C-alpha cells in the first residue's frame, strides 16, 4: 500500500481533466458505431443498441475500455512473453463410467487460453501484471467514471471503504473494473460474439435488480435411463448433463467436497425459471444464496419422489445456477455456471468412494412413474410429506439407530392417527395398505411389529449392535427393513388420488370384515 499515493499522483490528468477522458471514450466508440450501423446487430443503429444496457453511460465507458484493451493485447507487434493461461478441465469418464472432471488447483494451464485479467493490475510489474490502467486511457476513464458514482461502485465492488481512503477505494474499483473489462474482452474473443452482446449479459449480472436462472442439482452416483429431459411438474425437470455443463461445474481437487464425487453425476434435478434478488449486487446475491437456500424444500421434494419411485437411495452434493441471459463470469467458451453451495445430502452408502464402484441405474419404467409420484407427493397431506422427508433423512444417517427411528417416525405419520399409536392397529393398517402392492397381509403385519420391537429397544437403551430381522429364514438389517417398509408404504400412499389416510385404511379393513363375516339374513 505504500506505493498507492505515488500511483495516485501518477495519474493527475485522469482526475483533473474529465472532459479529455470523455473525448477518448467517444473516439474509441467510432469503430463500434460504424460496425453497428453496417448491420452487425441486424441493422440496428448504435443509438438504438446502446439503449439496451441498463446504464447507458456505464456501457459507453466499458465498451470503449474493452476495445482499448483488445487493441493493446491483440497488437501483432506486442511481445508479451510468459502469460497466465486458463485451465479448461477436459471431459473424461473413468473406468466405471462416471464423469471425472476437475479443475486445476492453480487454475492455470500451459495449453489453455490466455488469462486476460492477469495481464492488468494497479501497478505494472507487480505479480503477473504487464499493464496498468494508464496504458489504456479508455480503461482509466472507465475507472474514474465508476469512482464518481457511489451506487454503481457499491454494485461492482461489493465492499465499502472509508471515504477518507481515496487510494484504497481507487484500488478496489480499479481491480473490479479491470475484471469486468477483461472478462468481456476474453469472452468475446473465445466465442466470436459481439462485444456489446457480451457486455449486456455481464451488465445484467452487475446491475439488474432481479435475475432469472435455472437451479441445477446433479443427482450424485445414480445413473438414469433417460436421454431427454423429463418434466416432473410445473417447472421441475430432470435433465441429462451435457459435457460442456460438466466442465463448467467442475470444482478443484482440494475443494471442500471431493471433486470426483461432485463430478460423478449424469443427470440433474432442474428447477427452471427461478428468480433471485440482485438489488444489492452480485456479491450480496452470492452470499445470500449460499447462506439462505431459497429452493431447498423443492429440491428435497424432487429427490424424495425419485427415491420413492426408484426404490433406490439418491442424493446430491452440489447446487449451481444456469443463468438466463446474464453471467457473472465465464470460462473460455463454456456456458456460464454459477456455484451456489456444496453440501452433504448424500446417502452414506453412496458417499464411500462411490465413483470407483459399479454404477447404480434407475430404469426407464420406474422413471415413467416419477411424474405421477411427484404430483401425488406435492398434493398429499402434511403427514404424508413428513413421511417422505423422514425417508430421505434416514439415508443421511451414519448411525443405524437414528435411521431406524427416522423410518419409524415416517411410518407413524402414515399409519398413526391422533394419539392412536398402538402397534397392533398400525400393523393391521400396514396390511391393508400393502396387500394391493403384492405383499401378504401376515408378512406386512409381522414386519411392522418386528420393526417397532427394535424401536422400543432403542428407546429403552437395550438394542444390540447391528440388530437384524429374520424374514423367510434370512436375516436382514433392522434399519434396512424399517426403511424398506416405509418406502413401500409411501409407494402405496402415493398410488391413490387422493392419498389414503389411516381412517381410510380402517374403513377398508372393517368393510372387508363385514363382507367376509356377516351372516346372511
Of 230, 223, 217, the closest CA to residue 362 belongs to 223
- List, in sequence order, every residue forming a beta bridge with 218; answer none if it has no partner: 268
353: Cα separation from own chain's centroid: 22
8-state DSSP, 131: B
Q: What is the pLDDT of residue 21?
A: 54
Question: How crowded is the C-beta side of 229, counted as CA atoms within 13 Å?
Answer: 13
pLDDT of 158 reads: 80
Q: What is the pLDDT of residues 30-77, one digit of tens each?
A: 444 434 333 333 444 444 444 478 999 999 999 999 999 999 999 988
Buried-state track 114-130, b at ≥16 Cβ within 10 A, e below 16: bbbbbbbbbeeeeeebb
pLDDT for 105: 58
CA atoms within 13 A of residue 78's CA, in its CB half-sphere: 13
* Burial zone of 342 (CB within 10 Å; 0-12 exposed, 13-18 middle, 19+ buried): middle
SS3 readout for 83-126: CCEECCCCCCECCCCCECCCECCCCECCCCCECCHHHECCCCCC
Are 201 and 325 a contacting pair, CB within 8 Å?
yes
C-alpha cell read off for 60: 459507453
* Residue 327 to residue 201: CA distance in whole angstroms: 6
390, 409 in Cβ contact below 8 A? yes
pTM for the predicted model, two decimal places:
0.82
Nearest one of 27, 7, 14 to 145, comparing CA atoms = 14
Contact 101, 250 (CB under 8 A): yes
Q: What stretches in the chain show pLDDT beneath 70?
A: 1-51, 105-109, 161-163, 292, 417-421, 519-521
Amino acid at each position: 500500500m505504500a506505493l498507492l499515493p505515488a500511483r495516485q499522483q501518477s495519474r493527475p490528468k485522469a482526475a483533473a481533466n474529465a472532459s479529455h477522458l470523455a473525448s477518448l471514450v467517444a473516439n474509441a466508440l467510432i469503430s463500434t458505431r460504424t460496425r453497428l450501423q453496417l448491420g452487425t446487430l441486424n441493422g440496428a443503429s448504435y443509438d438504438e443498441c446502446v439503449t439496451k444496457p441498463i446504464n447507458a453511460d456505464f456501457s459507453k465507458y466499458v465498451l470503449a475500455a474493452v476495445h482499448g484493451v483488445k487493441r493493446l493485447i491483440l497488437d501483432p507487434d506486442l511481445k508479451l512473453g510468459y502469460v497466465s493461461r486458463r485451465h479448461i478441465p477436459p471431459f473424461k469418464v473413468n473406468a466405471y463410467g462416471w464423469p471425472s472432471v476437475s479443475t486445476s488447483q492453480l487454475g492455470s494451464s500451459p495449453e489453455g487460453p490466455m488469462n486476460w485479467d492477469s495481464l492488468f493490475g494497479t501497478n505494472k510489474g507487480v505479480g503477473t501484471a504487464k499493464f496498468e490502467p494508464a496504458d489504456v486511457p479508455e480503461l482509466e476513464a472507465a475507472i474514474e467514471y465508476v469512482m464518481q458514482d457511489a451506487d454503481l461502485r457499491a454494485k461492482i465492488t461489493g465492499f465499502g471503504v472509508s471515504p477518507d481512503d481515496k487510494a484504497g477505494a481507487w484500488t478496489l474499483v480499479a481491480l473490479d473494473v479491470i475484471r469486468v473489462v477483461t472478462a468481456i474482452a476474453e469472452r468475446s474473443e473465445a466465442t466470436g460474439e459481439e462485444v456489446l452482446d457480451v457486455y449486456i449479459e455481464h451488465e445484467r449480472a452487475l446491475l439488474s435488480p432481479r435475475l432469472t436462472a435455472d437451479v441445477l442439482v446433479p443427482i450424485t452416483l445414480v445413473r438414469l435411463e433417460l436421454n431427454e429431459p423429463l418434466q416432473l411438474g410445473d417447472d421441475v425437470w430432470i435433465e441429462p448433463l451435457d459435457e460442456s455443463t460438466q466442465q463448467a461445474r467442475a470444482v478443484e481437487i482440494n475443494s471442500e467436497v471431493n471433486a470426483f464425487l461432485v463430478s460423478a453425476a449424469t443427470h440433474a434435478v432442474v428447477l427452471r425459471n427461478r428468480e433471485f434478488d440482485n438489488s444489492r449486487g452480485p456479491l450480496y446475491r452470492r452470499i445470500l444464496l449460499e447462506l439462505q437456500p431459497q429452493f431447498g424444500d423443492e429440491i428435497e421434494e424432487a429427490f424424495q419422489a425419485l427415491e420413492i419411485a426408484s426404490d433406490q437411495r439418491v442424493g446430491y452434493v452440489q447446487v449451481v445456477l444456469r443463468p438466463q441471459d446474464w453471467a457473472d463470469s465465464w470460462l473460455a467458451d463454456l456456458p456460464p455456471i454459477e456455484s451456489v453451495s456444496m453440501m452433504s445430502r448424500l446417502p452414506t452408502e453412496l458417499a464411500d468412494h462411490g465413483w470407483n464402484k459399479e454404477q447404480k441405474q434407475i430404469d426407464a419404467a420406474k422413471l415413467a412413474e416419477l411424474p405421477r409420484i411427484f404430483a401425488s407427493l406435492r398434493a398429499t397431506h402434511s403427514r404424508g410429506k413428513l413421511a417422505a422427508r423422514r425417508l430421505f433423512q434416514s439415508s443421511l444417517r451414519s448411525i443405524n439407530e437414528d435411521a431406524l427411528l427416522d423410518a419409524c417416525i415416517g411410518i407413524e405419520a402414515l399409519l398413526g392417527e391422533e394419539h392412536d399409536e398402538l402397534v397392533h392397529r398400525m400393523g393391521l393398517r400396514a396390511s391393508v395398505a400393502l396387500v394391493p402392492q403384492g405383499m401378504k397381509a401376515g408378512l406386512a403385519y409381522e414386519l411392522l411389529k418386528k420393526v417397532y420391537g427394535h424401536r422400543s429397544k432403542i428407546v429403552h437403551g437395550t438394542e444390540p449392535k447391528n440388530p437384524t430381522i429374520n424374514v423367510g429364514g434370512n436375516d436382514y438389517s433392522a434399519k434396512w427393513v424399517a426403511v424398506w417398509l416405509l418406502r413401500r408404504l409411501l409407494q402405496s400412499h402415493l398410488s391413490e388420488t387422493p392419498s389414503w389416510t389411516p381412517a381410510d385404511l380402517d374403513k377398508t379393513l372393517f368393510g372387508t370384515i363385514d363382507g367376509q363375516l356377516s351372516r346372511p339374513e
